[in-house]
Amino acid sequence: MRRARAVRFRRRRGRLTACVGLAGLLALWPNLAQGQGPPINTENAFVTGLNGAAFRTFFLAFDRRGLQADGTNVTDPLRRDVRVRGQLFILPYELVSNRLVVMAVLPYLDKTLEMGPPGDRRRLSVNGFGDVAIAAKLGIFQRDRPDQTTRAALFGRVKLPTGTDDTVGPDGQLLPKPLQLGTGSTDDSAGIILTHSVGPVALSGDVSYDFNTTSQDFAVGDVLHYDVAFGYRVLPRIYRTFPAKQINLYVEANGTWSRHDTLASRPLADSGGRLLLLSPGVQFIPGAGFLVETTYQIPVWQEFNGAQLEFQPTLKVGIRWLLF
Amino acid sequence: MNVAKAPFAVVVTGVWLHLVAPWAAAQAGQGLGMLQVSVQVDGLSCPFCAYGLEKKLKKVENVANLEIRISEGRAVITPAAGTSVDLAEVERAVREGGFTPRALTVTARGRLTRLHGAPALELVDGSMLLLAEGGETDALLQSAQGSVVRVEGQATREQPKGHAGHPYTLTVRSFETVS
């Protein structure tokens, strides 16, 4: 029994060789699915208005290449290049006025891994809908003053294993776990959000934790997310009558601290670590009920366990559209 | 009747029924009702979030026009002609829209009367707005008892014992006699 388990472990371990250093691909998307604004990548504690009724979608693109081993850059013998393109769809619904919002998050993903020497590159690719998440945000504190507000909210999320996790490559072998569209596991997250807004200035922050579970002996490591966003309304300088054209600038810090992934309950050395992104962004609101936003996320701190591919800058472009 | 003039008569009658008659009816009722309701909204530092406020306030019955003045932290409602809005509904809409309602300022035209001995303004739909005694109200009562007046003041949720109906009391800041 123990021997069979060991053989199975070695076989899975072998399949994982090609995906060493890609672990963050699976852990990353739930973080990107948050941020129902106004900040772009950070949550805010409002549970009404656009937070409760606006369909949101955004396109994101990020790459991983260049091997980092124990904090130093080394040559990747496999010359791997990972590209992820995604379109996320978020539909919130204000279940209890100014108290409780529920939302569904559906990602469409396109993941590609290329590796091998020039002239003999091997390409693995998959695309389709990833795991659906159902989330809820509960307002727990609100203190309003003229032209300012301070709010706090709790949020929780359940990610369901709706995305395929058994896609095979051209050779008939299962694609590496991080390349799959779904994790195959049902994972929970919980966190807290704080927002303070005075006139044209807004500050938001959130902390959340992903409790990831095991599927087919494999588990993505738990992830601690932390985000801070500073926003400033550039135009109009004096907002007289709603609605009016509006431009907001943001600077955000978006961080994750991931634990090791595990295979058969054993931690995988080349997984987990710390990642901090600095995210300048801009929102344009042309009138009532519609918003366009974009942000460019620059990795400023990458400290991974073992050997892992580095994150390259991420681009997000999105819209929010008031439905009802 | 001259048959050739019949179409002209029909047009004139139509114009009368659609344009002049409602105006005349309004004049007959002397345009009683609330003219404007303004509510101070605390927490309105996020114009982006005012979508929720607009949505909820527009659902309040008899709201004909709404203006959310972010820089003043105020929502200004114009009720449909000859009607009034439920002030409790306005406050509830602000709360459900995600903000905190504070001072309510009401401008209304009504007939000055008394309700169980307390001064009140009778609005067109039969509802009463109690008037806080003292100050401008005393001056109003002395000069315009039984008249139609236009008053402006701050409404507060104070219901004197024994008075059913409108739970708000208006502290008159200014008034003018209409008739």
Under DSSP, the state recorded for A106 is E
> Is residue A322 less than 8 Å (CB to CB) from chain B?
yes
Of residues A211 and B22, which shows the higher confidence score?
A211
Nearest residue on chain A to B98, alpha-carbon basis: A98
The CB-based long-range contact list for A264-270 (8 Å cut-off, 24+ gap) reads A264/A5, A264/A8, A264/A9, A264/A12, A264/A217, A265/A214, A265/A217, A266/A9, A267/A221, A268/A16, A268/A23, A268/A306, A269/A305, A269/A306, A270/A20, A270/A21, A270/A23, A270/A304, A270/A305, A270/A306, A270/A307, A270/A308
Q: What ipTM was estimated for this complex?
A: 0.81
**The pLDDT of residue B165 is above 70:** no
Across A185-195, average pLDDT? 94
Average pLDDT, chain A: 86
Identify the CATH number of the domain in which residue A90 sits: 2.40.160.40
Q: How confident is the model at residue B8 (pLDDT cuts 50, 70, 90)?
A: low
CATH architecture for the domain at B31-179 = 2-Layer Sandwich (3.30)
Task: For residue A49, list chain B residues with Cβ-Cβ distance below 8 A.
Answer: 48-53, 55, 97-98
Nearest residue on chain B to A96, alpha-carbon basis: B96
Between strands A133-145 and A187-198, the pairing is unpaired
Q: How confident is the model at residue A241 (pLDDT cuts 50, 70, 90)?
A: confident
pTM for the model:
0.84
The per-residue pLDDT for A182 is 92
> What are the boundaries of each domain within chain B?
1-30, 31-179
Task: For residue A56, list chain B residues with Cβ-Cβ distance below 8 A.
Answer: none
The per-residue pLDDT for A12 is 47
Nearest residue on chain A to B100, alpha-carbon basis: A144
CB contact under 8 A, B51 and A239: no
Q: Chain A neighbours among B 26-55 (CB < 8 Å)? A: 40, 42-55
The span from the first CA to the last CA of chain A, in angstroms, equals 58
For A75, the domain range is 2-322
Quick one: chain A helix, strand, coil %, rounded to 5?
A: 10, 60, 30
Task: For residue A51, list chain B residues with Cβ-Cβ distance below 8 A.
Answer: 49
Q: How confident is the model at residue A266 (pLDDT cuts 50, 70, 90)?
A: very high
Closest Cβ opposite residue A322 in set B46, B47, B51: B51
CB contact under 8 A, A322 and B52: no
The per-residue pLDDT for A20 is 52
CB contact under 8 A, A242 and B98: no
Average pLDDT, chain B: 82
The string of pLDDT tens digits covering residues A273-321 is 999 999 999 999 997 778 899 999 999 999 999 999 999 999 999 998 8
Q: How confident is the model at residue B162 (pLDDT cuts 50, 70, 90)?
A: low
> Is residue B168 less than 8 Å (CB to CB) from chain A?
no
The string of pLDDT tens digits covering residues B93-112 is 999 999 999 999 999 999 99
The per-residue pLDDT for A248 is 93
Q: Chain A neighbours among B 75-114 (CB < 8 Å)? A: 95-100
Q: Which of B80, B105, B110, B88 is nearest to B178 (CA)?
A: B110
Task: For residue A147, list chain B residues with Cβ-Cβ distance below 8 A.
Answer: 44-45, 73
For chains A and B, what is the number of CB pairs under 8 angstroms?
A: 101
The per-residue pLDDT for B137 is 85
Mean pLDDT lowest for which of A21-35, A178-192, B157-171?
Answer: A21-35
Give the up-direction half-sphere exposure of residue B78: CA atoms within 13 A in the CB hemisphere.
Answer: 5
Closest Cβ opposite residue A38 in set B43, B46, B70: B46
Task: For residue A239, list chain B residues with Cβ-Cβ distance below 8 A.
Answer: 47, 70-71
**The pLDDT of residue A94 is above 90:** no
Locate B167 and state its tokens.
């739970």
